[in-house]
Structures are given as structure tokens and as C-alpha cells.
Amino acid sequence: MSSVMTDQALIRTVSWGAIGGIVLTLFLILLGTINASDVNERQRMDRNTRYGASSGATERVKAVGQMNLASNTAASSATTQVAATATAIIDGKKIYNGMCVACHGAGVAGAPRVGDKGAWAERIDKGATTLYANAINGVQGSSGVMPAKGGNPALSDDEIKAVVDYMVAQSN
């Protein structure tokens, strides 16, 4: 009969262990839920601090202009002002120093060095229109090759013209 009592004691011990495990699991779930709501509140407050009205995010992402439709005959001065400030001043020297100096600074592949009046004289005599066209479209010269837009197709024609003007001014 003692073996029956041992079996009952084992069942009782396992039952209490299972009940304790369930209670512990429920307690941890409850604790996690309470903590998660607190974390969510902190995240919401942090997000409001970062992206709220006082953060300047609204100012940074607002539209830079508006469309003037045919039905809207009165164009606002604000729209005109935005269009005027959107025109960037092109800095030929900055573009030259960023890319063109690699060839025109050292005379690589037959490129005329900026500041070398002799190398530039014949080119300058052909006129600005020819210089612009050669720089924009590229040219195979007797001394080397000028790739279109100096090998950077992302540059606009106006940027190329500004660089040509800068190099001519330095070499004239």
C-alpha cells in the first residue's frame, strides 16, 4: 500500500508543479502586457517630440511650390518667389575642381591644361559655341578625346557651359 501512496504523492507534486507553472506564465504575460503599454506610451511621446510641431519636420517636408492652373488667374507672389529661389547659381569652379581637374589639371590624354594659354588659344579662337558643343557632345581631337560632358552625363548643359567659361577665363 505504500507504493500507492507514493504514486498519489507523485501525482500531487506534478499537479502542483503544473499549476505553479501556469500561474507563473500568466503572471509573466500580465507583466509583459503592462510593460509593453508603458513602452508604447514612451515611444509615442518620443515620436511626438521628434516629429511633432516643435521638431520642424513639418517645415522640412512641406511643398516648395504650388501649381497655377488656368482657372486660377491670380498667381501668388509666393509661388513666383519660390520659382525665383529655385534657380541655382552654377559654380563652374566647383564643378571643375570636382571632376574636370582630373584631366585638365594635369593634361591627361591630351586635355589642355587650365592656365596654359598656348594650348587654349586655338580652341578659344573657335568661339564659345564650339567649345560648349565639344564639351557637351564630346569630341575626338588630334591630341586626344574629350568625352561628352566630361564623362558625367548627370551634368546639365548649363553646368558644362559654366565649367567651360571658368576654364577659358583661367586660360585666356
Structural domain boundaries, residue 98: 92-171
Statement to judge: residues 165 and 108 lie in one domain: yes
Q: How many other CB atoms are found less than 10 A from the CB of residue 86?
A: 9
Statement to judge: residues 49 and 120 lie in one domain: no
Statement to judge: residues 44 and 107 lie in one domain: no
How many domains does the chain divide into? 2
- pLDDT one-digit tens code per residue, 104-159: 888 887 888 888 888 888 888 888 888 898 888 988 877 778 888 888 888 888 88
Tell me, yes or no, whether 20 lies in a domain. yes
3 state DSSP class of 139: strand
- pLDDT one-digit tens code per residue, 94-104: 888 888 888 88
Tell me, yes or no, whether 38 lies in a domain. yes
DSSP state of 55: G
The total number of residues written for the chain in this structure: 172
Statement to judge: residues 53 and 102 lie in one domain: no
C-beta contacts of 59-67 below 8 A and 24+ residues apart: none
pTM: 0.49
Tell me, yes or no, whether 34 lies in a domain. yes
CATH of the domain at 143: 1.10.760.10
- The dihedrals phi and psi of 139, each to the nearest 5 degrees, come to -155, 145
Residue 20 confidence (pLDDT) above 80: yes
Statement to judge: residues 167 and 97 lie in one domain: yes
Residue 163 confidence (pLDDT) above 80: yes
- pLDDT one-digit tens code per residue, 40-97: 676 766 666 665 555 566 666 777 777 766 665 555 555 555 444 444 577 888 888 8
Tell me, yes or no, whether 22 lies in a domain. yes
Identify the pLDDT of residue 152: 84
Higher pLDDT residue, 10 or 90? 10
